[in-house]
Amino acid sequence: MNLVSVVSLFLLGIGFGFHFQCLHADDNAPKDFISIDCGGVVDSVDSESGFPYKSDTNLINSGVIGQISSDIADDYRLQYRHLRSFPHGVKNCYTLRPDSGRNNNYLIRAIFVYGNYDGKNTTPVFSIYVGVNLWSTIIYNDTRTEAIYVPPTDYIDVCLVNIGNGVPYISTLELRPLDNSVYRTDPHQFMVLSTRRDVGGDYRLRYPQDVDDRIWATYDDDFNLPWLKKIQTDGSITQNSNDPYKIPASMLKTAYGTLNSSIPFVYEWFPYDSSPTIYFCFHFAEIEKLSSGTIREISIVLNDIYTIAPSVILQYLVPRTICTTSAGIPINLNEENYLRISAASGSKLPPIINGFEVFYFANLSYSPTFSQDVNAVMDIKNTFKLLNSDWQGDPCLPEFSIWSGLNCSHRNPPRIISLNLSRSNLTGGIPFSIMNLTQLETLDLSYNNLSGLLPEFLAQLPLLKILDLTGNNLGGTVPEGLLVKSKDRVLDLRVDDNPELCLSPPCKKKKKKVPVLPIIIAVVGGVILIIALVLLLIYKRSKKKNSENSREEKISLKQKHREYSYSEVVSITNNFRDIIGEGGFGKVYKGVLKDKTLVAVKLLSSTSKQGYREFQTEAELLMIVHHRNLVSLVGYCDEGNTKALIYEYMVNGNLRQRLSEANADVLSWNERLQIAVDAAHGLDYLHNGCKPTIIHRDLKPANILLDDMMQAKIADFGLSRTFQVENQSEMLTRLAGTPGYFDPESQTLGHLTKKSDVYSFGIILFELITGSTAITRSYNGNNVHLLDWVAPIMKKGKIEDVVDVRIKGEYNHNSARRMAEVGMACTKPNGDQRPDISVVLEELKECLAVEMRTLSESYEFSSTISAEFNVGPNLR
């Protein structure tokens, strides 16, 4: 695939020159240049151009780092002394994401310095692809390949492909944006550079002389041809800032001419590859001061038959670029080709040439895989953190490197028709993005550890023939649509070995095991009484649990997320009349559905980029999680720029409002306890009921909503993250939350855990107890954190001094003390010492039980309980 001209077998001049001792990045280096130092452990600076090369450590997961042989290392600049090689896998890819995205013109360049890095002294032969198309086959050990490419996608995959002749490797990878009008013949094109010459130049040119960082090799007096004459000028070239080719002046200042007008300048080459068409650009400037009245007129002809330009007239010191205009000029395959640059007929002056470029057209016969399929499968890869080493580059192309577990249709563009992730250690729910693989015929997710409900959208995949979910932990019922298809024998449905899954309603959920809470019995007397009490409580609790569970199930099965149009949203909200709040990503409006259900509509403000991410997070989470103590989604709107989430309306507002002094309707102690238990339930579900764990990250009373029955529900998942999925550095940049509730430990550690939510929850408990806000302003104007004044009083055991004055005399001292102790445990400075939310939940339920008992049966137990109930060891 290499078109090698007779005179241009380019071995790189990269060893040439000297090294600066003190390297510094040139601040003027164009920001949109991408320069990757493959195999570099740290970023480096190029000693010639002065601009920075980025280490590829964070850009690619595969491959191994190598060093070129030390005897020759000194001859090479830093970025060429190491490389990345790919001993594993057929295809390994870098993904470039230029700022200007798709449909723009780019120069991309890869450089390969073998340097006997593997000690085998054998030059490997391998291929490099751009997107899904073959770019070049690398056969030399010190070489580069360069292309002009207009990508159809916002990213560019550059893939090194093992063709069975040695381990692929790469030293640097570069991308330079070009003006969209240069080197263009097609809306989408892909041309590979054959050669680029600075005729008559003495040294290799690139950035900064060439602002586009093209590399101009010299075309010197290679053969000392006696009829050629080198000419140069000291005059300054008149650069036109509108000239899109931006040909470097220093390149134009030298040229070759011939001795007289009857001698042409001939460039000849032999095409080694099968590319049948070619593309040229010639660069001229008159650099001889001619006597007035004389002009130089030049013609360019290929193989004596194809006239590229009949007449080019040059002006003194003015650049002139002539490129072929057709989509590729046919050349002679397997024989010599001649380019003649001659004096046009009648012209007295001999021809000159200052520089030229030769490209051949690469095969663009393949389109990348249908982008919606690519996005879906990338989402699946990210969701499950799949480490399949061959999941790189395009999923379906080239055909010999289809991602393992996929099969594709051989259409143009290819579509994904089969996804097999059987026995891949998958956990969590079935990702929503599968819905977008609309050509899927086979979906095999068997023998993983998938949990959550079996989603209904699977029934909507029109071509699905095999659905294998055997051997997972899926729950809920099998959606009706799937059962119907299976009954009609359209679908081969396999769902065995999912212990929690119910094949057809009515479905009774299995009774969950009640975690046994260790209870220390501190007092010697009354043992029997206590045992009796504990038994009674467990009995009551499990009875209650059954009824809770069935309620939970009903709600989650009823869950349907309707899509609403923008006009429906307008009518639901009565043209956004009633603002009831302001969330992380926009305003919240009150609304009424056609069936008179009240809803809250959260509208994403169009300007906020951060808001959009939060909106996405919240939407994705709420599609998956369903719990009666999490606010639930009724529907959504995603039309053009309008994005809205529609929730059940929470009549009683949020906990912050309810606790505020402005609210005359004071929450009773019993209601506060119930709210604490509800919220702990919701959080326990996020932490322990979801796989992977979900961390809310912004728990606070304003995010705890109360429905008409005063049942509490956690809201606002915009900052939530799934745990164990995040890499630490990203977490650092995304630490967010609300002052007062934010875990101080995570601030120092730089990452969040479940225990950060537990900390916030502890603060909420104290707010329930005290009625105060997390941060209050003291008499001298300083901000005081709730813990700062509660903790000292707690130490003295004076719980009554912290309880909200508005419920003085109307609360149970014991349950208040226990709740405060739970709060203290939750807010321990060290996350490891804080209890898991499941333990907190059990404790709070005990508090509630104590309270209920006090209310209804105080005459029996009140005197004994106070002494007997102690905080479990987990809370110490």
Binds ligand NAG by CB under 6 A, chosen from 46, 357, 468, 698: 468
Cβ neighbour number for residue 325 with a 10 Å cutoff: 11
Q: For ligand NAG, which stretch binds (CB under 6 A), given 108-116, 205-213, 325-333, 680-688?
A: 108-116
Contact between 838 and ligand NAG per CB under 6 A: no
Min separation Cβ 363 and ligand NAG, Å? 4
| 3 to 9, 351, 846: CA distances (angstroms) | 9, 26, 81
Contact between 773 and ligand NAG per CB under 6 A: no
Q: How far apart are CA 312 and CA 297, in angstroms?
A: 5
Q: What DSSP letter does each residue of 477-499 carry, written as one string?
A: B--HHHHHHHHTTSSEEE--S-T
| 547 to 258, 535, 844: CA distances (angstroms) | 99, 19, 19
Min separation Cβ 114 and ligand NAG, Å? 5
Contact between 486 and ligand NAG per CB under 6 A: no
Strands 466-468, 492-494: pairing kind = parallel
**DSSP letter, residue 342:** E
Min separation Cβ 386 and ligand NAG, Å? 8
Binds ligand NAG by CB under 6 A, chosen from 5, 171, 383, 436: 436
Q: How far apart are CA 367 and CA 376, in angstroms?
A: 17
Binds ligand NAG by CB under 6 A, chosen from 21, 70, 121, 547: 121
Please give the size of the binding site for ligand NAG, defined by CB under 6 A.
Answer: 36
Active site residues: 698
Min separation Cβ 415 and ligand NAG, Å? 10
Strands 427-428, 449-450: pairing kind = parallel
User: Which residues carry a binding-site annotation for ATP?
Assistant: 602
Binds ligand NAG by CB under 6 A, chosen from 57, 420, 605, 663: 420
Contact between 394 and ligand NAG per CB under 6 A: no
The one-letter amino acid code at 328 reads G
Q: How far apart are CA 220 and CA 215, in angstroms?
A: 15
Q: What does R_g of the chain's alpha carbons equal in angstroms? A: 36
Q: Using CB atoms within 10 A of its CB, is residue 790 exposed (0-12), middle (13-18) or buried (19+)?
A: buried
Contact between 438 and ligand NAG per CB under 6 A: no
Q: How far apart are CA 359 and CA 194, in angstroms?
A: 5
Q: How far apart are CA 259 and CA 64, in angstroms?
A: 55
Contact between 449 and ligand NAG per CB under 6 A: yes
Min separation Cβ 123 and ligand NAG, Å? 5
- What x-and-dash track marks residues 702-741 binding ligand NAG by CB under 6 A? ----------------------------------------
Binds ligand NAG by CB under 6 A, chosen from 125, 231, 249, 263: 263
- Residue 103, C-beta contacts closer than 8 angstroms, at least 6 positions apart: 150, 151, 152, 187, 188
Q: Among residues 303 and 688, whose Cβ is nearest to ligand NAG?
A: 688
Q: For ligand NAG, which stretch binds (CB under 6 A), given 190-198, 417-425, 681-689, 781-789?
A: 417-425
**φ, ψ for residue 591 (rounded to 5)?**
-150, 165
Contact between 504 and ligand NAG per CB under 6 A: no
Sign of the four-CA dihedral 643, 649, 651, 653: negative
- What x-and-dash track marks residues 363-392 binding ligand NAG by CB under 6 A? x-x------x---x--x-------------
Q: Which tokens belong to 868? A: 């007997």
Query: Both ends of the chain: CA-CA distance in Å?
Result: 72
Cβ neighbour number for residue 695 with a 10 Å cutoff: 25
Binds ligand NAG by CB under 6 A, chosen from 306, 338, 432, 576: 432
Residues in the chain: 876
Contact between 218 and ligand NAG per CB under 6 A: no
Contact between 231 and ligand NAG per CB under 6 A: no
CB 449 within 8 A of CB 403: no
Contact between 641 and ligand NAG per CB under 6 A: no
Q: Among residues 27 and 335, whose Cβ is nearest to ligand NAG?
A: 335
Contact between 691 and ligand NAG per CB under 6 A: yes
Q: Among residues 499 and 781, whose Cβ is nearest to ligand NAG?
A: 499
Question: Which residues here bind ligand NAG, judged by CB under 6 A?
Answer: 114-116, 121, 123, 141, 227, 259-260, 262-263, 274-275, 363, 365, 372, 376, 379, 407, 420, 422-425, 432-433, 435-436, 442, 444, 449, 451, 466, 468, 473, 691
